[in-house]
Structure 1
Amino acid sequence: MKLSLGPIQTYWPRDTVFAFYDTIADTAVDIVYLGETVCSRRHELRLPDWMTIGRMLRAAGKEVVLSTQVLLESTSDVGMMHKVVANGEFIIEANDMGAVHALAQRAPFVAGPQLNLFNPDSLAWMIELGAFRWVTPLELNANELAAALQSLTAPVQTEVFAFGRMALAYSARCFTARHYNRPKDDCGFACIEHPDGQLLSTRESHHFLVLNGTQTQSANICNLIHDVPDMQAAGVNVLRLSPQSTHMDRVIDAFDAARTQRLSTEAVNVLLADALLDSACNGYWHAKPGMVLQTPTT
């Protein structure tokens, strides 16, 4: 079982991004996804910068994947997607059907989690188009995944989102700009002031959602670390960890220990104790509401 690091979902300064990936080069992560997937207005890094980071990580022994934007809203967004697809060096994670169309039967690709491949027929179709790996939708539970994999006749790698704030929705509106009473096209790049998103609480002061520009995330942190043995038994090939601004090295160490069973459950819990940005949850995997935490029975 491999560990992957998903694309950075929030907006960080350029130097912060470069420094972050310098540290990632020395971690146990096997696969690194790079690129801007949320908002095309985020221009701290351009495609040549992502390519530079990708080459550095490849030299460090990592498999590098370039991720495309999820919601394409303009001709320039479509043009950038085609530039990423045609980069000539790295494989692509397709996060919308436009990217799938550009890659279909032309190059192998990763089918991203936002393609919503919930049933065996849609997954089989995506494999026919050239997907060699798919990232399961967040809401797909363990039993549904097992049923989908049992019905497949073509080989495919399965990747599960195992840690981080979950991307629940994307919108043409920018909620961060709206919070600051700014128009989307003159947002002042306010989301860069919130490296892990902007917390939204209920009137009862319960953490509920996180605003991240045009993306809405869960406040709770998806954490499937205690489900790693079951995922290994089910044939999951890759565990995806989503970047956060602090303690990412400890998160990676904890999941590496879990997949190799080199540390006890108690020791793994200690590694993660101060690394979670908020309360943990794993409900979707257990066919429960996503914000629920299903604790181990043994």
Structure 2
Amino acid sequence: MLHPPSRTTGDGSASPASLSHPGSGFERALSDVAAALEPRLDLLLAEAALSGETMRPPRLLAAMRHALLDGGKRFRPFLLVESAALFGVPAQAALGAAAAVECLHTYSLIHDDLPAMDDDTLRRGRPTVHCAFDEATAILAGDALLTLAFDVLARDETHPDPAVRAGLVAALARAAGPGGMVGGQMLDLEAERIRLGEADIRRIQAMKTGALIASCCEMGGILGRATPAERSALRRYGGQLGLAYQMADDLLDLDATTEALGKAAAKDAARGKATLVALSGPAEARRLLEETVAACEDALQAFGARASGLVAAARFAAERTR
């Protein structure tokens, strides 16, 4: 059950963040968003199959469903919902934009798993799309989810104000494009088996992982009509969170099993990936990870207790086991 957004009390303090309540814990809040988002994603694909007079190829839709539904932590949608809650936006009112983010994120996973990219056979505990279907279908399913994301953001039901919808589209497009996620993936591929310095690795990770995470936080602020300073703080938090998430991912690749991760483990070292773990070693990477989590918390200071859910998200990103 979704809980109401945080509200400032009469003495200036804040009540618990949206989707959180005393004793629930962060993972309960994360699960609440995932549970609320799942039927929204299912409905989007059902509408895609039935709307209009043009035939939608059943195999394409089946591949989209295979990738999008019943899997993943829905961490990025959670960040959007929780960031919007800072400004009193109810969780249900943020789910349209959250669904768009999940569509785009899933597209990126489909394409990252392709043989020409990271060549993975397992994702979210089941066969990757190109293994379950075929490579061409996987490419097209990713393309379809990417374009569906912007379709969703442009809809009136996502937000009644066209200026807000345009802001959402612009933020997500910038994060996903050549200056963000796609550009970072290109740099990551080029960097295989090349020894890079810390600054270069951080740049790749900020683009490849951090840009989309930062945009989720900013999009929450856009929904809530945040001030430029507030949006900047959310971007700064999201950028640091993206770095923390990637460092934790790299440590998990080193330490965790395939069964625990739901995807192939120990692939980064085999491919010669440029990571802070490979550069500095696990102990130093863990120290840097703690520093990055502290930077996340620092970026949220202006929001006070209202940002408790986002503070917990940073700690979750660093301490997760899958």
TM surpasses 0.5: no
Which has the larger strand fraction? Answer: 1
TM-score normalised by the chain length of structure 1:
0.30
Which has the larger helix fraction? Answer: 2
